[in-house]
Every structure is written in structure tokens, then in C-alpha cells.
Amino acid sequence: MFKVQVRFALLALLLPLLLNATHILKDDILKPEASKLIEQMADELLSKTAINGYVVATNENFPEKFNLVAYSKKYEANLSKPYVMLIFAPNAVITAKSRTKGRVALIPSSKELALLYDKSDVMDATIDVIAAKDKNSIEDKYNIGVVQGFSELADQIADSKNVEMTTTLPNETRYIITVLKVIVIIGALLVFWMFIFRPIFMRMKNGKQ
């Protein structure tokens, strides 16, 4: 009897913690496999950086210019600081005139946290998957997009803390862009050398002004 009472007491103490342990605050879209990947990445991110990553995947039909920052406040009771929240709302109206939908928002708990990642890169990692023309269903694209976006967010935060993630997904687009940037920089240096610095160097070498 005593053992049963002890177990019950422990369960009563741990249950609130277990209920609040999830990093997915709202899920209208995600499949179990996608949810599991996000939870694994969020757990690793928290253990290695002490930063919480949260996801809100909602089918709500937000109107144009809807304030997602204000919307995020409804989840405050389930948040532990410091945190970054990724909101994915495919039915949110971007512009009523063009009838385009789909918004991604990143909401950090502080301005300092916002410096740990590139907002545009994370949003691109989410949206590029959805915009791609392939045989995947729109539901699958939503799942892949959210997972890839959260993976990019976790990777960037980890990089800023000089730690390496093992549960995130490789973002081939990011590496391609990095290579292209290096090529562009090298090309620009070659142009400067050929048309500006080399003529000056040759004039100086030949003693000409």
C-alpha cells in the first residue's frame, strides 16, 4: 500500500511536467513522424544550448496583416524562457488582393535571441519546400516545410553557441547558396584585380605615375 501511495505521489508531481514537456504548442497539420522529429530536435537544442524551440502549426484562417506576435501570447502559459517560437500558418492571408496565403513567423523571447539566427534563412528553408513543384501532396509539403524550417532554426542557434546538432536535417539549399556566395566573392576579387589593382600595380612596377 505504501509503495502504491509513493508511486501515485510521484506521478502526481511528474504529470504536469510531462504535459508541459512538448515543444509543439498547436498541431493542426503535422503527422506523427514530423512531430517526433521536431520533438527530438527541440530536446537536443534545449540540452545543448538551454534554449527552447517551439512550433505552432495552425490551420486557422488569419486575415491580412494579422498580428502573429500578439497571437503567440496565448501560449505564454506553456512557454519556458529563453525560447524561439516558429509559427506556420498556411491559411493565413498575405494579401487579400492577390489571394495569396501562407505565413511563417519567428518569435524570440528576447532581442538577443533574435541575433542567434537568420530569420530569412529559416523562413526560406520552410517556404522553399512548399513552393517546389513535385509529386508530394500539399499536406506532405507542409510537414516537410515545418520540419526543415525548425531544423534550420535549431542548427543556426546551435552554431551560434558553437555546438553541433545530431538530430537536425541537412539543408542542401543552404550549402549551395554558401558555395555560390564564395564563387561570387572570388569572381568579384578577380574583376577588381584585373581591371583596377593590376593596372595600378603594373604602373608602379614600371615606374609610371
Q: What is the pLDDT of residues 188-207, one digit of tens each?
A: 676 666 667 677 767 776 76
Task: Band the pLDDT of 132: cuts 50, 70, 90.
Answer: confident
Q: Is 5 exposed, middle or buried (0-12, 13-18, 19+ CB in 10 A)?
A: exposed
What is the rounded average pLDDT for all residues in the chain? 81
β-bridge partners, 58: none
Pairing of strands 52-57, 83-95: parallel
Task: Band the pLDDT of 163: cuts 50, 70, 90.
Answer: very high
Q: Which CATH architecture has domain 2-170?
A: Roll (3.10)
d(CA 72, CA 86) in angstroms, rounded, equals 10
Greatest mean pLDDT range, 89-98, 144-153, 174-183: 144-153
Length of the chain: 209
Model-level pTM?
0.72
Give the three cell numbers for residue 88: 506556420
Give the pLDDT confidence of 70-116 residue by residue, as tens digits: 999 999 999 999 999 999 999 888 887 777 888 999 999 999 999 99
Q: Where are the domains of the chain?
A: 2-170, 171-209
